[in-house]
Amino acid sequence: MKVEFYKHNISQADIANAVAALNSVILTTGETVAEFERKFSQYVGCKHTVGVTSGTAALHLSLLAYGIGPGDEVITTPMTFIATANSIIYAGATPVFIDVEPDTANINVDLIESAITSRTKAILPVHLHGQMCDVKTIREIADKYHLVIIEDAAHAIEARRDGTRPGELGDAACFSFYATKNITSGEGGAVSTNNEEIAEKLKKLRLHGMSKGAAERYSRRYEHWDMEMLGWKYNMSNIQASLLLNQLENIEIYWQRREEICHTYEEAFKDCQNLNYLKVLPNSKSARHMFTILVPPEKRDSILWQLQAKGIGVAVNYRAIHLLTYYRQTYGYERGSFPIAEKIGDSTITLPLYPKLTDEEVRYVIQTVKEVSAEYAQD
């Protein structure tokens, strides 16, 4: 049996929307992007959404919009995809890592205050695998020290915790519509915020700092545009937006199926020796972006390769990023800097999780994971 690591969920309805976008005059940022932004804002419960070309662009522009740049420090987690920390470097600032919680692998809020210096300007928490961080506490700390919160919500569109959701307590929440994310346009991203001034700034920053987009320049009597600030070329296109509209409408149905699969995994693995998994906290709705198991670090790679050999698509999300060559060399991090993130990074294996996964495939994954990990437990 072969179980793919991921299958996207693009339907005939999504394809029909894309065809309509391709048959229209404006392929770049226009009314379809605006429609997606309105509907996405409604879904996440934020006043404004700005569509961009990737989650990385969303993070980069959010930092710039809040004036974060050279000389500034941003506190973040080493247990994430490199985009999180790289975006801080793009802005010219310095990523400052702190360790994570063992149960969720999310940033440990108890360690934030000890990492704050006179140069700290922002906190960039990541809602890993869809479990939200403790944003309430992060908000209290941010208010005390006058810091900005940029949430990396790439995994967490559908998430809730303590009655809040991404973008509600943070100053901006960044989403990704990359090929394997919960809804996808192949590549794409968005920033949601309740701050109108920041939303306006983001709209300029995503298009070279231009005062008018293409749709505005060409759909009426020609209007001259100005460049008011240096921006980037990160604007979402109508083609990307067209693919997202119908997926957004069905987002809870897709989530429901992933939730069901995760419950089946959790039920199957809860009494296994030598095998653990990251937890969803009781007061939370996880967006269920990924399901990861934790195995003994010295056996992780063997188990990973065995699962692969038995036809199961697997991945590692993530090895702690402070140990990657660039981060070691540039910032002097070494093994031992963040022991919990390192341990999780050395133990984690991501299993298949997507709505198209069948019950039969889920059973095969469970059975194979149990067999392989039991085999290794004996040596």
Ligand X SMILES: *Cc1c(COP(=O)(O)O)cnc(C)c1O
Catalytic pick from 121, 181, 201, 285?
A: 181
Phi and psi at 350, nearest 5°, equal -95, 130
Nearer Cβ to ligand X (86/264): 86
Q: How far is the CB of 237 from ligand X (least distance, A)?
A: 14
Spatial contact of 36 and 245, defined as CB atoms under 8 Å apart: yes
Q: For 208, which DSSP code?
A: T
Q: How far is the CB of 90 from ligand X (least distance, A)?
A: 11
Spatial contact of 61 and 190, defined as CB atoms under 8 Å apart: no
- Residue type, position 81, single letter: F
Kindly report the length of the chain: 379
Q: How far is the CB of 3 from ligand X (least distance, A)?
A: 21
Nearer Cβ to ligand X (190/275): 190
Q: Which residue is nearest to ligand X (CB)?
A: 55
Phi and psi at 12, nearest 5°, equal -60, -35
Nearer Cβ to ligand X (262/372): 262
Whole-Å CA distances, 34 to 57, 176, 204, 242, 319: 18, 17, 14, 11, 37
Q: Which helix (H) or strand (E) holds 76?
A: strand 73-76
Q: Residues interacting with ligand X, by CB under 6 A?
A: 54-56, 80-81, 83-84, 126, 152, 154-155, 176, 178, 189
Residue with structure tokens 């067999």? Answer: 371
**What is the C-alpha to C-alpha distance for residues 53 and 280, in angstroms, rounded to an integer?**
30
Q: Which residues contact 3 (CB under 8 A, 6 or more apart)?
A: 311, 312, 313, 352, 357, 361, 364, 365
Q: At what angle do helices 300-309 and 359-378 cross, to 10 degrees?
A: 140
Q: How far is the CB of 326 from ligand X (least distance, A)?
A: 17
Nearer Cβ to ligand X (154/357): 154
Nearer Cβ to ligand X (66/178): 178
Q: How far is the CB of 287 from ligand X (least distance, A)?
A: 11
Work out the number of other CB atoms within 10 angstroms of the CB of residue 358. Answer: 10
Nearer Cβ to ligand X (49/80): 80
Core vs surface per residue 263-293: b (16+ CB within 10 A) or e: ebbeebbeebeebbbbebbeebbbbbbbbbb
Q: 136 catalytic, yes or no?
A: no
Q: How far is the CB of 288 from ligand X (least distance, A)?
A: 14
Q: Catalytic amino acids?
A: 181
